[in-house]
Structure 1
Amino acid sequence: MTTTTGAAPPPTQNRPVMLARGFLTGGVTGVSLAAVVVGIVLGSVPLIVGGACLLAVYVLIRYLAGMPRRAREAAVPPCMALAMIESREAVRGEASDMPVRFDLTVAPDDAPAYRVEFTQDINVAYLPDYRPRGILVVQYPPDRPLKVRIVKRPTPEWEERVAAARLDSAPGPARASDPAEGAGATAVGFLGLLLGAALVVLLFRADLFRADLFGEDGTSTARPPVSASGTSSAFTITVSSVTGTVALGSGQSFLDDGRLGGSVATLARGEDRQRALTVTVQERLLTVVFAPTSTPAASRIDLESLPYDRVPALVQEAMTTLGVGTLSTWQLTADRLTGTVVLRVSVTGSEGTAYLEADGQGKVVRRVSAGG
């Protein structure tokens, strides 16, 4: 039996509705994800829970809205038709069942033939049975003729029809079985996702800005650099959320009487004085590293407790008693990473590097001379 297929308009789909649904899905997804991320940044549990619940509720609504259609499709037997393979292409994968993209001419008994393109998993062992120009049986819902699926085990009656059938190709191009997977719907969905995320960020931009500029206690954590100068000398102070530095001008030293303690006081005031992680001092450069709020209190230094008046004597002792020869540089580091305050003075000279360690009161507890 030869069936001649004439030109017929392809089955129609409500594409505007599909595009609108894709945009809505993308928008809700963008809003939900952005709400969760913004909630994490702001530490807002209601915002995190609200974003997650919004997506869950939307998925539930989509599922419930589709139940009547699925019930109708389950109640109505699918339409059966003969079809001819125009082309096939394995999409990807090395598993036993691989996705194969088919281009078929479908020839219903009571309607003009049409072309459709879809993807269906086919076992590799049976792939040679689906050759171009081959005839097979397909089924689809009565109201959705583009949703075509290959019937892998047709009844004997349909097998007889397949053996006797001869089909002509329907005019192309083939229509996708699920237009929502097209590039247009994907682009619209992605646009909705971006707009939804941008909406959340704009709504909470003020809170995000404040969270970036201020800490949990409301004090500023992003202080701009400050500089000051005198009539006979100059120094520069720079303070940020994580470090503070003081750079002295030429002819000055942190070994000068009262210079070090006064400089530290300019870098840390109030609670900042109890959240230092390390203090590093060189001839004309002071650096204080502030600990994040999550750092255990046992690792922080109380800047008010350091023995600043003992630093010049410690540096002098390291320079003259540890055998470094002609001095080139010195550095003092104070930290509490081991649980107790440790002051380490390292000196480098013509004979090598040496150091000494002192406790929180400035008492020397260890000496390591140059060369060992």
Structure 2
Amino acid sequence: MTITTAALPMRNTPVAVALGFLTGGVIGASLAAFVVGCVIESVPLCAAAVGLPAAYGLFFFLAGAPRRVREAAVVPRTALAMVESREAVGGEATSDVAVRFDLTVAPDDVPAYRVAFTQNVNLAELPDYRPGVVVVAQYPPDRPWRVRIVKRPTPEWEERVAGARLDPAPGPVLVSEPSESSAVGFVRLLGLLLAAAGVVLLFRADLFDEGTSGKPSVSPSSSASSSSSSSTTVVSSASGTVALGPGQSFLDKGELRKAVGSLARGTDTRAALTVVVQDRLLSVVYAPTGSQAPTFDPDSLPYDRFPALVEEARADLGVGSPQTWQVTVERLTGSLTIRVGVTGPEGRASLDADVQGKVVRRTPAH
């Protein structure tokens, strides 16, 4: 059989869909609980918002332990391979350098295939892996993309390498495990929204009674919502969202800045903790009154640069045909960061930009 990326099924099993929904629910519930806890000044709720992701991460780790044990028990397959190309991608300041290899792998019992991966190589050994050199490679039989070059093969394989000659394998390059389907991404977003809405509804009495409860630091919650044939806007003192209708996108000229302006008219504060933009969904989380968290003015962002940043991330970071993109703006580290994340068949990638919209870092798919 020929191994190609098209032959690998997308991760769309019931378990993957359920985990996607659960993960989205944990994220949505944690974020909403933290914001609500800050607004109503509830320490237990804020602590629960922090503890929930930690507990879920521990559960996820323990639940995956049997699978990791099974994968570790699989005997790797050994095969000859030829270096098609190599490129150093990091670690120049140390004795080991991260090198991205493109290999033709030629197993004895199946046709040869192409694979791309990154492996650390000592600088002194780097000339041994020049293009055209035949090497020994190993990979798990059920995960052929996890190839590793064997630096010290057995004498039997050294003899095979000495007299081997391989031809380049045609076809697409296998770079990663099967990507998740759009269904998983959809249910993850659905779980996030439902969980966040559930937390807000659960504490709605505390939120809307806060102005008369005697706590001096929180102003009365104001809410506004409007609907039209083109968009839906929901605003409160804690957050604001704008959802566009079919056929529209926040990459359209002026659409994003107009949406941010509509949110600013519905709240008495302009200090934001985060701004998240997807193709047809804008979410802004506002800082509660008296909060010491790093904030920024959402009106000051370079929205005119967002379409170009998204296009650069989709075209130049090696994710293939992108399925989804997301822009996240925050100041958690002190300086304002605009991060554009994209997901495609070849994996996930991102780029970071500064407050002027100038790209300062790129993280290609791997």
Give the structure-1-normalised TM-score: 0.48
Which has the greater radius of gyration? 1
Give the structure-2-normalised TM-score: 0.49
